[in-house]
Amino acid sequence: MKPNSKLSGIIGVGSYLPPNILTNFDLEKILDTTDEWITSRTGIKERRIAGSDEFTSTMAVKASKKAIEMAGIKPQKIDMIIFCTISPDYPIPCTAGILAKELGIKDAGGMDVNTACTGFIYGIALADAFIKAGKSKYALVVCSDKLSAITDYQDRSSCILFGDGAGAVVMTQTSEHGVIDYKLGLLGDEWEKIVIPAGGSRNPASEETVKNRMHYMRLQGREVFKLAVKYMGSAIEEILKKLEMKIEDINWIIPHQANRRIIEAICKHFKIPQEKVFINIEKLGNTSGGSIPIAIDEMLEKKLLKKGDILALSALGAGVTYGAAILKWGI
């Protein structure tokens, strides 16, 4: 591994999961499906669903407060907010502004990033760039989605997958731990594989778009499965080759939690030992960009991570975007 004296590292982690649980048995009551069918195809048994008074921003606030507290700084020290979401509170303004107000953050830069399930990879890559360029001292990367608001519960093939939640990290310049390298990818030819057909300038909201349920996510599941297996694994391989590292040098692989079968297929194809892979999809489902920071927070609570551990993160999401990152853990 090639040394880098100037790194950006995670110094605080937080997550929030709504208390409401939607089980496979609950879905049996409204869909032509069974717990066995869902579990065998996805590995999911239950997922969290935000209440009517919970939004993408409110979940982000709770996750961010926990991350900022762990970082040991005041919210006002945050000078860059990178908010990754595909279910913003409003089309305008960016949800980063709402988060800044709720946290009392002033004089910070901020933006929303729409790369769906790849949000955390893109978010920490952006934070890394700002920090290394000397344009940010403390960057807050938060991934939050109320996917239940854009999920079609009449679509048996997709509604079984998604849950709500938020994860956040605080990053700053470090010297002995942090982001070692990352790979970002975009498969523009595949953009139609995951799409909300209406609500933008191409298909503005109308009586027809609402009637045809065009404001909900639509995904081509089999095609997305194949892309995820190929590109989530190859992105990790590409970085390891560049860094002259091997899979044996990795302590933990933390993939986006989209489907247990995808994760198992990646492990089989790329010869990754499953005991090195953290999986919590059974109880949370697919929480989009939040799945990786939520997983990291759970691993910290379970004391699975140690200082000096080498982590590999990987994801694929709408766009179609994909990415991976290698980090040296420092908390």
The residue to which tokens 């044996």 are assigned: 248
Q: How far is CA 153 from the centre of its chain?
A: 22
Residues β-bridged to residue 195: 218
Catalytic residue among 24, 94, 159, 256: 256
Alpha-carbon distances of 134 from 7, 130, 176, 244, 323, rounded to whole Å: 12, 6, 18, 28, 24
| DSSP sequence for 63-83 | HHHHHHHHHT--GGG--EEEE
Catalytic residue among 84, 94, 117, 159: 117
Alpha-carbon distances of 116 from 143, 194, 331, rounded to whole Å: 9, 10, 27
Residue 146: other Cβ atoms inside 10 A: 28
Q: For CA atoms 297, 302, 305, 306, give the dihedral sign.
A: positive
177 is catalytic: no
Residues β-bridged to residue 173: 8
Residue 45 gets which letter from DSSP? -
Residue 97 gets which letter from DSSP? H
Residues in the chain: 331
Count Cα atoms within 13 angstroms, Cβ side, for 212: 13
117 is catalytic: yes
The residues annotated as belonging to the active site are: 117, 256, 286
